[in-house]
Amino acid sequence: MPLPRSIATSRASTTIDSLLEPEDRWNPGLGLRDSLEARGIAASEDRSGPVHQALADAFGQVNVPVPSAAAPALPVVAPLADTIEIDAGLSSARGGPGGGGGGGGGGGGTSTYTTSVSAYNIRIDFSGTWSVDLQQAFLDSADRLASIIVEDVQDAAIRIKGRVAVVDDISISASLGAIDGVGGILGQAGPTAIRSSGSLDPYLPATATMRFDAADAQSLLAQGSWDEVILHEMFHCVGFGTIWSQLGLVSGSSYVGPAALAAYNAMLPEGTIASGVPLETTGGTGTAGAHWSEAIFGNELMTGYLDSDASAATPDDNALSAMSLAALADLGYGLAADLGSLADPYVLT
């Protein structure tokens, strides 16, 4: 099936994540704002404290009991991770002229979805007009990701308009609307707040955004690329390629995280041991250094290019390999024990 013009039909032409101007792309190397946007809650603070009251206000719990001097101590509020808002542009996908067609559909989907397949919870808040088919790719991708990441991470405190809200474990805002019409910019995605370095799960994203142009969405869906684009971008939302620099997982043009490197070495001929996984060096900011090398890994999903070269050995056009799953362990996530069964068939050629 041919790919839409808005996504590459050749490995050397168009990227999934960015052919946008550099200032508009997500750059994992950009700095973070100096001020913390939310404060952690100390484990010693009781339910009568001001932070608990702020949480109560945020969630509408107005009847907060205040213990008397003779009453037994109430359970303490669980500590929350501080978060830092990321001061960076979003990863953007730009297509060429032509193609496309149709809007976001006639609605009928849900406004909020939270995974329940594991202890790792992904919440998606939808805005805009979504067809059920377009929205289903988000639900499927979130469920698949939550079946790979199965362990809970520390809840995060986010300050929103003066209120403290709790995120368990990541909250993604998904919007569908007008950006620039058919072709051009397909969408934008990336983390918007990450846990602080002092949290139990340093740098893991707490919030993220995924925004797509309604004029392009139906075309991607019709040509079978929509679900692959959504899963690819959701991987970036949880940290693939976007928090590597903070965790020291990149050396030059190689990825050096031990779990993904071991998976890569398992693909190589016997006796060949690599010191790093080759990363993309083309495509500019937002693509180079944040994806596997297209020249080496071809139709693996987490290269920077969308492919249509499935083979008998690798039947998926864009396969999610065990190496990409292992990279999530390098970020600090607790993964399912049976990763092999959760990856797509993929053979390095």
* Nearest to 301, CA basis, from 240, 251, 253: 240
- Which pLDDT score is estimated for 27? 35
| CA dist., res. 4 & res. 92, Å (int) | 17
Beta pairing partners, 86: 32
- Which pLDDT score is estimated for 162? 79
- Which pLDDT score is estimated for 6? 32
- Which pLDDT score is estimated for 98? 32
Pairing of strands 205-213, 184-195: antiparallel
- Which pLDDT score is estimated for 76? 33
221 three-state secondary structure: helix
Please indicate, yes or no, whether the overall pTM of this predicted structure exceeds 0.75: no
Give tens-digit pLDDT for 128-185: 889 999 999 999 999 999 999 999 999 998 887 778 889 999 999 999 888 777 776 6
- Which pLDDT score is estimated for 316? 60
- Which pLDDT score is estimated for 129? 85
How would you class 160 by CB atoms within 10 Å of its CB: exposed for 0-12, middle for 13-18, buried for 19 or more?
exposed
- Which pLDDT score is estimated for 262? 97
- Which pLDDT score is estimated for 285? 80
Q: Name the token pair of 277.
A: 């996984």
Q: Which residue is it, tokens 């003066």? A: 162
Beta pairing partners, 175: 127, 211
- Which pLDDT score is estimated for 308? 65
Q: Are 140 and 131 in contact (CB under 8 A)?
A: no
- Residue ranges in the chain modelled with pLDDT below 70: 1-109, 184-185, 308-316
| DSSP one-letter code for 149 | B
